[in-house]
Chain A
Amino acid sequence: MTKVKMIKNAVDRMVPTEINGVKQTSFKGVGKFKPNGKKAALPIRSCSDFPSDGNKIVKSLEDALKKCDLKNGMTISSHHHFRNGDLVMNQVFDIAAEKGVKGLRWFPSAAFPCHKLVIEHMKNGVVDWVEGSLNGPIGDYASHGNMNGTAILRSHGGRWQAVQDGEVHIDIAIIAAPTADAFGNATGDRGPSACGLLGFGLVDSIYADKVIVVTDNLVPFPCIPWQIQGQNVDYVVVLDKVGEPEKIISGTTKLTKSPDRLYIAELTAKFVQAAGIIKDGFSFQAGAGGTALAFAIFLKEMMKDAGVKARFIRGGSTKYLVDMLEEGLTDFILDGQTFDLEGVRSMRENHGHVNTSPFTSYNWHGKGNFASMLDTVVLGATEVDINFNANVVTHSDGKMLHGIGGWQNCLFSKCTILPIPAFRNRIPVIVDEVTTLVGPGELIDVIVTERGIAINPLRKDLIKATKDSGLPIRKIEEIKAEVDDLIGGPPAKPKLTDDVIGIVKWVDGTVIDSIYKIEN
């Protein structure tokens, strides 16, 4: 919790000027902030300092950390491709604890319930704070303002930007790898702990001072494909087991059975069809949520009926997308993370199933990225206001929910659609003002609810294209009024304190909103 000077940003939100001792820039508007200077870089290395036979294996994780000179206050990073099945990071912090190291910052691309041990390490001072997508118990812990530092929520692309801007300097990157060679080349698509790809660890491998690859499946050089290049790797550690691949399947990858959600998914697909988006060579992205998966299935049927083939689909891949690839309904899946084991298999077997990273897809400092090239993307949200601003990180009662993922980055697609139920258990989705503003309304084009479709008035083209479609297109205010009537008026606002427990970064590194501690 930090008491610092707050200023109003370009979307009228109060944001701190400094967080965890680092000066912050407030959000200036979409595409308005462009920093100057050079990207961050690591010190010059020489291959003469590394074994000429290419064997970088050290005998234990402890040994590797010692050689990396693990000490107080360092930043340790990791990727989350094992999702809830990671077996490495708890060991890392246990070793740090044994060595009496204090004040570490953990910089994962995301933390999961399997990492809840780190809460103990935060209590005993080994870990100062966690900076990354916070899910489950760690998110809860941070929500209550217990973390010894302010949570910084970034998108997947924003994590890359933060490293390149030098906002976050990684001292030691731990890259758990399902298959690797002694040189440090590594891949996620094969081996007993196969998880698909390692794209979230790519930036860590390039920018960290020290890089440790940890594997349970050592193959003779060369490890092909090399999703992570050995040229970036300092040490290789071989363990009995690095991950439990059956746990990479998250609860969010189950197809919904709810008739209401299926209805919303079908309506979304019909909208995409009516808007003229489904045509040969088009592209789309649908996440792993139940409604998004159902959307992909409805879309698939429409594509089959119309004899249309996509050029590419952006994953998170699931077996549903793999089916489309294998049935010839798309040339490529450009995959950012595999959500199930069929995705892993396909990535290994199908030439058209390509591993990508936030660099190719989401990075603000890239010379372009894939997200903005997509014809349409469907995403979730907890709240949307009547100006189409949306929230994915807090509940309406102010509690922190989960990280941003690729959500902000995906908003740049040509047609961004949020299929969402108009209310959940009396809580309305369309509100006057979002609790936390994570996505500016100018980038959100369409809301699809079971009570109608609302198109952002800025998208006159979409309004015109779907005018005679027979779809239930309504003003967002009208849907809101209907729901407010049903639930007995809009809900009360949560009582929030002035204590900032987290900030939300925009994709360019500026601060778009603050998350406050809830009054007890």
Chain B
Amino acid sequence: MAKSFISGTKGEKPRSDLRVKYTPSQKPLSISVKSTVETLFGKAIKQQAKYVCKDLQIKTGEIEIEDFGALPFVIVARLEAAIKQAHPDLQLESLPQMKDFCLYHSSRDRFRRSRLYLPGNQANLMLNAGIHKPDGIILDLEDSVSPSEKEDTRYIVRNALRSIDFYGAERMVRINQSELGLKDLEFIVPYNVHLILIPKVESAEEIKIIDERILEISKECDRKEPVFLMPIIESGRGILKALEIAEASSNIVALAIGLEDYTADLGVPRTAEGKESFFARSMIVNAARAAGVQAIDTVYSDVGNEIGLRESIREAKSLGFDGKGCIHPRQIKPMHEEFAPSIEEIEKAKKITLAFDEAEKKGLGVVSLGSKMIDPPVVKRALHTIDLAIASNLLNPDWKN
């Protein structure tokens, strides 16, 4: 019996996804389509399958598609994934058009208060993610994707990076560990990923290997923009090496902590109070500050508990974190509200900023407020507070006038 290769959702009530079954044979290519939107898109799906087969030069075998309202970029991804399972050495690709709205850039110091995790194989969650205005959107190739789906998911994430408007959010991908992660890079670096999250980092060496590979791929695809890095530290060893890791590459813009794995590594339960992780979180903040990068806290996993979420954000802010992870869009707004500076903070920052302007104008090397000298880090902090206040709609961008 001929062996079949399947790429597809295993969900019971799948939406915006499909299953593709490819059975290689010597018979001329045949394509069949079943779809929940068959009347409206049945022909379009078949046509698309033909294009993919043409791109990949597949002329024989049987393709069976069972569709549940998937968008074109997912259909292409699943088809390519199923075909590549059968022909792992095939170098050809079937790439959906790179949309203009996928070409915007990020910057080193942009806000990273909220970053929304989305499983890389759940396209339906990606489509409207940008509408909720998180600072960053993470297409996850790692823990939220089961081992058997890792390879297929790369195609979906690659195509999503070419097809979906994230409306200005920073375009992030969390790659897998080690070899798998290095392979992941080929699917994202050429497609304007802004930032890569590297999981379970324990040494500067790991960062350097990834950074080098990114550089190679960037050269091959003529990518000019840097790829920012955010190592996630999730173990005792990683915590003790936090500074070394934070300084491992000039592309690192933030250092994050993952507490599920960290507490497991310590062999202690993760509590709401969080005493067991205080040291680690402080280490992250201190290492980040020392390296001049942002410190990002772990996710808050009780989606329904907004009060608990807000408490945990206030706590993170008080420890010195600049952002947290989100696992649901409803966590974004509380995050932006709680990370926003207080009225007192804004007022103080305004005074310092004006004093700074004054000193600049007069060509003075020292900023002073009344009789008090203001140190440069305090000035930098104040400027950051002003930016944050403007981003949080608490201050008119034109406030100086």
B71 engages A486 (CB within 8 Å): yes
Chain A residues closer than 8 Å to B70, beta-carbon distance: 426
B41 engages A450 (CB within 8 Å): no
B39 engages A488 (CB within 8 Å): no
Chain A residues closer than 8 Å to B69, beta-carbon distance: 424-427
CB of B72 within 8 Å of the partner chain: yes
CB of B59 within 8 Å of the partner chain: no
CB of A491 within 8 Å of the partner chain: yes
Q: Cα distance A425–B132 when bound, in Å? A: 19
Q: Cα distance A424–B15 when bound, in Å? A: 9
B40 engages A396 (CB within 8 Å): yes
Max chain A Cβ within 10 angstroms of own Cβ: one of B16, B42, B44: B44
A491 engages B41 (CB within 8 Å): yes
Minimal beta-carbon separation of B133 from chain A (angstroms): 10
Q: Cα distance A489–B40 when bound, in Å? A: 11
For the A-B complex, the count of residue pairs with Cβ-Cβ distances under 8 Å equals: 66
Minimal beta-carbon separation of B330 from chain A (angstroms): 6
CB of B237 within 8 Å of the partner chain: no
Chain A residues closer than 8 Å to B36, beta-carbon distance: 425
Q: Cα distance A424–B37 when bound, in Å? A: 11
CB of A398 within 8 Å of the partner chain: yes
Max chain A Cβ within 10 angstroms of own Cβ: one of B41, B42, B71, B163: B41
Q: Cα distance A420–B48 when bound, in Å? A: 28
Chain A residues closer than 8 Å to B68, beta-carbon distance: 425
Q: How many residues belonging to A are interface residues under a CB distance threshold of 8 Å?
A: 24
CB of B328 within 8 Å of the partner chain: yes
B330 engages A259 (CB within 8 Å): yes
Q: Cα distance A397–B68 when bound, in Å? A: 15
CB of B30 within 8 Å of the partner chain: no
CB of B31 within 8 Å of the partner chain: no
CB of A4 within 8 Å of the partner chain: no
Which positions 26-54 of chain B face chain A at CB distance < 8 Å?
Answer: 36-37, 39-44, 48
Chain A residues closer than 8 Å to B37, beta-carbon distance: 397, 425-427, 491
Q: Cα distance A218–B163 when bound, in Å? A: 65
* A-contact bits for B267-286, CB 8 A (1 contact / 0 none): 00000000000000000000
Q: Cα distance A260–B124 when bound, in Å? A: 11
CB of B240 within 8 Å of the partner chain: no
Known: A486-B127, A487-B71. A397 touches B44 (CB 8 A): no
Chain A residues closer than 8 Å to B128, beta-carbon distance: 259-260, 263, 450
A451 engages B39 (CB within 8 Å): no
Chain A residues closer than 8 Å to B328, beta-carbon distance: 259
Max chain B Cβ within 10 angstroms of own Cβ: one of A259, A427, A485, A494: A259
Q: Which of B41, B48, B99, B330 contacts A426 (CB 8 A)?
A: B41
Q: Which of B40, B163, B164 contacts A397 (CB 8 A)?
A: B40
Chain B residues closer than 8 Å to A451, beta-carbon distance: 131
Residue of B nearest to A399 (CB): B39
B40 engages A488 (CB within 8 Å): no
CB of B329 within 8 Å of the partner chain: yes
Minimal beta-carbon separation of A297 from chain B (angstroms): 14
B16 engages A425 (CB within 8 Å): yes
Residue of B nearest to A482 (CB): B165
Q: Cα distance A492–B45 when bound, in Å? A: 11
Known: A397-B37, A450-B131. A488 touches B330 (CB 8 A): no
CB of A262 within 8 Å of the partner chain: yes
Max chain A Cβ within 10 angstroms of own Cβ: one of B15, B131, B328: B131
B330 engages A262 (CB within 8 Å): yes
Chain A residues closer than 8 Å to B131, beta-carbon distance: 260, 263, 450-451
Known: A488-B44, A489-B44. A398 touches B39 (CB 8 A): yes
Residue of B nearest to A490 (CB): B40
B71 engages A426 (CB within 8 Å): yes
Minimal beta-carbon separation of A373 from chain B (angstroms): 34
Which positions 151-178 of chain B face chain A at CB distance < 8 Å?
Answer: 163-165
Known: A260-B128, A486-B127. A425 touches B40 (CB 8 A): no
Q: Cα distance A396–B328 when bound, in Å? A: 31
Chain B residues closer than 8 Å to A262, beta-carbon distance: 330
Chain B residues closer than 8 Å to A398, beta-carbon distance: 39
* A-contact bits for B50-93, CB 8 A (1 contact / 0 none): 00000000000000000011111000000000000000000000
Known: A262-B330, A263-B132, A426-B70. A397 touches B48 (CB 8 A): no
Chain A residues closer than 8 Å to B44, beta-carbon distance: 488-489, 491-492
Q: Cα distance A426–B43 when bound, in Å? A: 14
Which positions 315-357 of chain B face chain A at CB distance < 8 Å?
Answer: 328-330
B43 engages A425 (CB within 8 Å): no
A492 engages B40 (CB within 8 Å): yes
Chain A residues closer than 8 Å to B165, beta-carbon distance: 482, 486
Q: Cα distance A491–B72 when bound, in Å? A: 12
Residue of A nearest to B304 (CB): A257
B40 engages A491 (CB within 8 Å): yes
Chain A residues closer than 8 Å to B15, beta-carbon distance: 425
Known: A259-B329, A260-B128, A486-B127. A492 touches B43 (CB 8 A): yes
Which positions 251-290 of chain A face chain B at CB distance < 8 Å?
Answer: 259-260, 262-263
Residue of B nearest to A260 (CB): B128
Known: A262-B330, A489-B44. A426 touches B16 (CB 8 A): yes
Chain A residues closer than 8 Å to B99, beta-carbon distance: 485
A488 engages B16 (CB within 8 Å): no
Minimal beta-carbon separation of A302 from chain B (angstroms): 16
Which positions 468-520 of chain A face chain B at CB distance < 8 Å?
Answer: 482, 485-489, 491-492, 494-495, 518
Q: Cα distance A335–B7 when bound, in Å? A: 51
Which positions 397-413 of chain A face chain B at CB distance < 8 Å?
Answer: 397-398
Minimal beta-carbon separation of B355 from chain A (angstroms): 32
* B-contact bits for A302-326, CB 8 A (1 contact / 0 none): 0000000000000000000000000
Residue of B nearest to A422 (CB): B128
Known: A259-B328, A262-B330, A425-B16. A488 touches B43 (CB 8 A): no
B72 engages A488 (CB within 8 Å): yes
Which positions 402-450 of chain A face chain B at CB distance < 8 Å?
Answer: 424-427, 450
Q: Cα distance A147–B43 when bound, in Å? A: 31
Which positions 105-153 of chain B face chain A at CB distance < 8 Å?
Answer: 127-128, 131-132
A487 engages B329 (CB within 8 Å): no
Minimal beta-carbon separation of B211 from chain A (angstroms): 34
Residue of A nearest to B163 (CB): A486
A397 engages B329 (CB within 8 Å): no
Q: Cα distance A263–B129 when bound, in Å? A: 11
Chain B residues closer than 8 Å to A491, beta-carbon distance: 37, 40-41, 44
* A-contact bits for B223-248, CB 8 A (1 contact / 0 none): 00000000000000000000000000
| A-B contacts besides A424-B69, A426-B40, 4 pairs, CB < 8 Å | A259-B132, A397-B40, A425-B69, A494-B40
The 10 listed contacts between A and B (C-beta, < 8 Å) are: A260-B131, A263-B132, A398-B39, A426-B71, A427-B37, A450-B128, A451-B131, A486-B71, A486-B165, A518-B39
Please name the 8 residue pairs, one residue from A and one from B, whose CB atoms are nearest each other, closest first. A425-B69, A491-B40, A488-B72, A259-B329, A397-B39, A426-B69, A260-B128, A494-B39
